[in-house]
Amino acid sequence: MAELTKELSQMANEQAIQADAAPQDAAEPGAPTVIVDDLHIVYRVFGAASEAEKGNAANALMRIIRRQGRPQMKEVHAVKGVSFIARHGDAIGIIGRNGSGKSTLLRAIAGLLPPHKGSVYTDGQPSLLGVNAALMKELTGERNIVLGCYAMGMTPAQVRERYDEIVEFSGIGEFVQFPMSTYSSGMGARLRFAIASAKAHNVLLIDEALATGDRDFKRKSQERIHQMRKEAGTVFLVAHNLDVIEETCNRVIWLHKGQIKMDGDPTTVLAAYNA
């Protein structure tokens, strides 16, 4: 079956490339853009036992001196030996249950989490779609647009050029002059998506939560993602909404408890996943 799925995804590749034969640089069709080689990710989680952590400085001192027993710390082995090759023109959906390591894998591809073992090789700098963490809710929409764009690495000229477009796409109107803490959750989500999608990417990583806002905005953001997909060389999409995956992707990786359970064309993998 591996052979079959390989064949199928190859075909899908070629179709995708024909459809998207757009402004790409010299990369030959099907050239690898992301190679993940036996990747293991372990990260540390500090437990929510904040009462024990705070206040008692004597305890903190003793723990440093003894160099032992930090009771609140847990190591999470989130990705356990994942290998695959993503090629130019691929749109890869990553599915799996909560906690199967999807988001972690995405962050490792983006170069944001260091591998415990194995490695990730990429062509250029893959970027996650999302700036939420850089924004400050006490600030106005205007300031947040500028801050978010800079956080994504845009230049002042690019920010000026894109500013109106971001405001317009988000559709929040004069609310852009109010602090983001006064926004409804839908408005906040729209502005965040508008900022995040203002930049073009070579390898684009999209982590869920796209379907935000009202129906109108959902349609608008879907269109924007389609467009970004065309401009990007390779797209990774993490989503629970399988319809979105089926629509957008030409290949699906099924992660289960940190390992690849299945990798192939959407129809086959999604059928197995739903079974």
Within 85-104, the residues that bind another protein by CB under 8 A are: 85, 99
Minimum CB separation of residue 18 from another protein in Å reads 22
Task: Pull the structure tokens for residue 81.
Answer: 């030996």
Give the count of beta carbons closer than 10 Å to the beta carbon of residue 260. 20
Considering only 141-149, 165-173, 182-190, 209-217, which stretch makes contact with another protein by CB under 8 A?
A: 141-149
**Residues from 54 through 73 that contact another protein (CB under 8 A):** 54-57, 59-61, 63-64, 70
Residues 13-32 that bind another protein (CB under 8 A): 31-32
Contacts of 271 (CB under 8 A, 6+ apart): none
| Residue 239 near residue 93 (C-beta atoms within 8 A) | yes
Secondary-structure percent of the chain, ordered helix, strand, coil, rounded to 5: 45, 25, 30
Give every CB contact of residue 57 below 8 A, 6+ residues apart in sequence. none
Output the smallest distance, CB 64 to another protein, in A: 5
Among 16, 91, 108, 252, binds another protein (CB under 8 A): 108
Query: Strand 73-87 and strand 32-46: pairing?
Result: antiparallel
Question: In this complex, which beta carbon is closest to another protein, that of residue 133 or of residue 215?
Answer: 133
The least CB distance from residue 214 to another protein, in Å, is: 25
Quick one: how far is CA 245 from the chain centroid? 14
Alpha carbon distance 22, 233 (integer Å): 10
Residues 196-235 that bind another protein (CB under 8 A): none
Q: How far is the CB of 168 from another protein (least distance, A)?
A: 22
- The stretch near another protein (CB under 8 A) out of 131-139, 208-216, 217-225, 227-235 is 131-139
Q: Is 122 near another protein (CB under 8 A)?
A: yes
Q: Does 179 bind another protein (CB under 8 A)?
A: yes
The answer to whether residue 157 forms part of the interface with another protein (CB under 8 A) is no
Q: Where are the alpha helices (DSSP H) in the chain?
A: 2-19, 50-53, 57-66, 102-109, 141-151, 156-170, 185-196, 215-231, 242-248, 266-274
Candidate residues 12, 36, 167, 252; the one interacting with another protein per rule CB under 8 A: 36
Does 265 sit near another protein (CB under 8 A)?
no
How many residues bind another protein, per CB under 8 A? 83
